[in-house]
Every structure is written in C-alpha cells, then in structure tokens.
Amino acid sequence: MALDITTGRPWPALLDLPWSLPLEEWPEDLLAALPRGISRHVVRFVRIEGRVIAIKEIKADLARREYEMLRALRRLNEPTVEAVGVVTGRVARDGRPLDACLLTRHLQFSLPYRAMLSQSLRKDTADRLIDALAVLLVRLHLVGFFWGDVSLSNTLFKRNAGEFAAYLVDAETGELHQSSLSRGQRLHDLDIARVNIAGELMDLQAGGFVDLDIDPLVVSERIISRYDELWDVLTATEKFEYGNRWQVDERIRKLNDAGFDVGELDITTDIDGTSIQIQPKIVDAGHHCRRLLRLTGLDVEDNQARRLLNDLDSFRAATDRQNEDEELVAHDWLNRIYEPITRTVPRELRGKLEPAEIFHEVLEHRWYMSEQAKKDIAIEEAVKDYVKNVLPHKPDERSVVGVDTEELPVRAKE
C-alpha cells in the first residue's frame, strides 16, 4: 500500500520521517522530547521545519475523523490545537500494516495542567484552570460540539494575564452536531468533566504533586457551577418591564464582561407592550481580543487583551487625547509603549513567556514597585527591574510538551 499524507501544510520534511517504523521505535535523536507516562495511544513529539509536531498513532478512520473535526472547530474559531495532517497506508519493513498517524502542531507557550499545578505557588491555580475549562466547554457546546471526554489532560492551558485560556487537544471522542446540543448531551459532558477532573486531581495528590488541602471534590464541582453561570449569561431569556429598557444594555455589558460579543439578540414584546423579552441568539467569544486586534493588530488571549486595552485607555487619559481618533492613539501606544517594553526582553529570555503575558507581568510588577516606593514608577523603570530580577527565574514555557511525573516538566529540544 502506498503512503498517503493528507496535510494543509506543504512541509516536504514530513516525507523524511521514518513512517515504516512503529512510532514506539522511532530513534531518539529524531524526537523533540522523550515521552513519559501511560497513554492510550503512542504519542511522540518531533521537530519539523522549526515547529514541534505531536504525532499520535491511531486507527486510520479515527485519525481522519479527528483531523476533520479539529479543522472544522478551528474554522469555527474555537480554541483547539492545529491539525497538521494524517498519514495513512503505513507499512512496516516486514510488510505488516501499521496504524495511521495524526499530526498536530504543538501550541507554543501552552502548558499541561500538571505543569501548571505542580509549579504554582498560588492556591487558586486549580480553580483558575477549571474556570478556563468551563469557558472552553461553553464555547464548544455553543457551536454544537459534544466532547465526550472532557478532562484537564485533554486540554492545554495558556497564560492569560493572571487567568488561563484553555485549548482542546484531543477530539477523538467528540462529535460536531449540525443542530444545537440537547440538554442531556451538555449534562453528560459536564458529568464526565466532573468525574475526570476529580480523578486527575486525586491522582496528582496520590503522587504528592499537589497540596493535600486542595479538595478534588470541591474543585471538580466548580466546573458545573462556572459552566452554569456562563451558560446562563450567554443563553438565558430575560423578561422585564418596558420602562426598564436599560436592562438590555446591562445584559450586553454582562456578556462583554464575560468576554463575548452579541452577534444577534432576539427582542420580543408581549401583546400589550408592557414587557420585553430578550435572548441572545448568536454570541462570539473574544470581545476584547477582537477590539485589540482591530486597533493594534496584536493577536493575544482575551484577558491579556483586556489588560492591554486598559493600559491603552490609561495612556489615552494620561496624554489627554480622549477626543482623538482611537486608532491613532492605539498606534502611538503600540509604538511608544507596548513594543519598546516587550522588546526590552533579551532574546535568551523570550522563551519564558509570550510578549503579551510579559507586558501584563510588567504592569503587575510596576504596581508592586509603586506600592513599595509609595510613588508612581515609570513602566520603563519597571521593565528593567522585571527583566533583571524576575524573568530570569521563570521557567521556559515555549515548548513544554509534557510532564514527567518524576521530574517536571518535559521540554522540546531547541
């Protein structure tokens, strides 16, 4: 049988990989990192044309299905890893057929939950991971995706200005429905999520990687409450008196706060016109990052965008340019504040955090410095101190591809 590579990326180097060897036997010098732990499937990380690619050995029909699904979700702007390709028709040297391979691109600066939890000194890290997962699950459900295996380990997390942003990694059990999901499907996903999260936390505790005063049951219940809250803000029907029309604005503000824009709002009045009923019909995630992208061309996570936009607003106030065109002010802020600050970071430290996250940390750092000095500290001064005293002590997070349970974390070789 001939090798068949389906890919959206024309990378000739794909052809040079030893497809006739079972993934388990690929030579070490080819791998970007060594895999650890128990996994359902064999997974290996390799570097192709400068990018880290995850390769999973799996049945051909499942590989194709997951590939199509990940691509469909990305077309819908859902946060998922990028499916790079599917390799089928693999044959071992002795003529034995080998399983197909699904290739996904490693998400830069993302971390597995175990790395997040084991590195963190903050007690609420687990809660913030769950919050991010709840947002992801709500977003996926809104587009009709039933996950079927919601868990922390099937998710990757990126730092998001003090919060986390969650990305779907494993869509093997997922189904993308044409119509909206039934309540039963949503509840089932939530139930699976809860059991998996509790199990994952109990496991980390059993291994001594997470503080015993975290209660896995309490943390896992949070996925349900956070999901319900957000689902309600995004989809519930609200009814109020005609005179209280400000509540329409209030609802939209709540949606924006949650990071969503309203694409379509259904407004109906009753026959005598005394009450109004509203229900959001289409909502889009990324309220803040869309605005930032439009103003500056920066593509960052939503909470990072919120943070940057706040700084942009302060810049505007400080320079007394409230009446000027927003785009012009944003352009100046980008050239005079954001880029100089993020460029201050020397090349060797750029693998630590993404620029937008560094900018967020510098703002935090400036706040601490100001508080200690009991006076305003300039951002230029804050960034110097941050690069000298804080950033060098942070771990490199650009290419963390997995977590060893003994020795954390596992990084891709540069």
Partner 1 sequence: MATVTYDEATRVYPGATTPSVDKLNIDIQDGEFLVLVGPSGSGKSTALRMLAGLEEVNSGRILIGDRDVTRLSPKERDVAMVFQNYALYPHMTVADNMGFALKIAGVDKGEIRKRVEEAAKILDLEPYLDRKPKQLSGGQRQRVAMGRAIVRSPQVFLMDEPLSNLDAKLRVQTRTQIASLQRRLGVTTVYVTHDQVEAMTMGDRVAVLKDGVLQQCDTPRRMYDHPDNVFVAGFIGSPAMNLMKLPVTDGGVQLGNGTYPIERGVLNGAREVTFGVRPEDMTPATDGSGLPVEVDVVEELGADAYVYGRVPGSEATATPIVARVDGRQVPQKGETVHFVPKGDHVHLFDVESGARLGG
| Binding-site ranges for partner 1 (CB under 8 A) | 37-38, 40, 58-59, 62, 99, 146, 148-149, 151, 153, 172-173, 178-179, 182-185, 187-188, 191, 194-196, 198-200, 202-204, 206-208, 217, 220, 405
The helix/strand/coil state of 371 is helix
Supply the Cα-derived Rg of the chain in whole angstroms. 24
CB of 216 to partner 1, least distance (A): 8
CB of 327 to partner 1, least distance (A): 42
Give the DSSP letter string of 333-362: HIIIIIHHHHHTS-GGGTTTS-HHHHHHHH
CB of 265 to partner 1, least distance (A): 21
The residue among 33 and 197 lying less far from partner 1, judged by its C-beta, is 197
The residue among 98 and 248 lying less far from partner 1, judged by its C-beta, is 98
The residue among 194 and 287 lying less far from partner 1, judged by its C-beta, is 194
CB of 153 to partner 1, least distance (A): 7
**Cα–Cα dist 257/364, whole Å:** 21
**Cα–Cα dist 291/33, whole Å:** 38
- Looking up tokens 């998996």, which residue turns up? 196
The residue among 62 and 349 lying less far from partner 1, judged by its C-beta, is 62
The residue among 202 and 252 lying less far from partner 1, judged by its C-beta, is 202
Q: Give me the amino acid identity at 203.
A: D
Tokens linked to 306: 């919120």
The residue among 46 and 69 lying less far from partner 1, judged by its C-beta, is 69
- Looking up tokens 């975290």, which residue turns up? 214
The residue among 52 and 403 lying less far from partner 1, judged by its C-beta, is 403
C-alpha torsion 117→118→124→128, nearest 10: -20
The residue among 178 and 372 lying less far from partner 1, judged by its C-beta, is 178
Sort 271 into a burial class: Cβ within 10 Å, 0-12 / 13-18 / 19+. exposed
Integer distance in angstroms from the first to the last C-alpha of the chain? 35
- Looking up tokens 């810049």, which residue turns up? 315
CB of 196 to partner 1, least distance (A): 8
CB of 221 to partner 1, least distance (A): 9
CB of 19 to partner 1, least distance (A): 18
CB of 170 to partner 1, least distance (A): 9
The residue among 161 and 190 lying less far from partner 1, judged by its C-beta, is 190
CB of 188 to partner 1, least distance (A): 5
The number of beta carbons lying within 10 Å of the beta carbon of residue 83 is 25
Give the DSSP letter string of 132-200: HHHHHHHHHHHTTEE-SS--STTEEEEEETTEEEEEE---TT-EE-SSPPPHHHHHHHHHHHHHHHHHH
CB of 391 to partner 1, least distance (A): 33
**Cα–Cα dist 37/320, whole Å:** 56
Contact 157, 110 (CB under 8 A): yes
**Cα–Cα dist 150/295, whole Å:** 35
The residue among 188 and 321 lying less far from partner 1, judged by its C-beta, is 188
DSSP state of 126: H
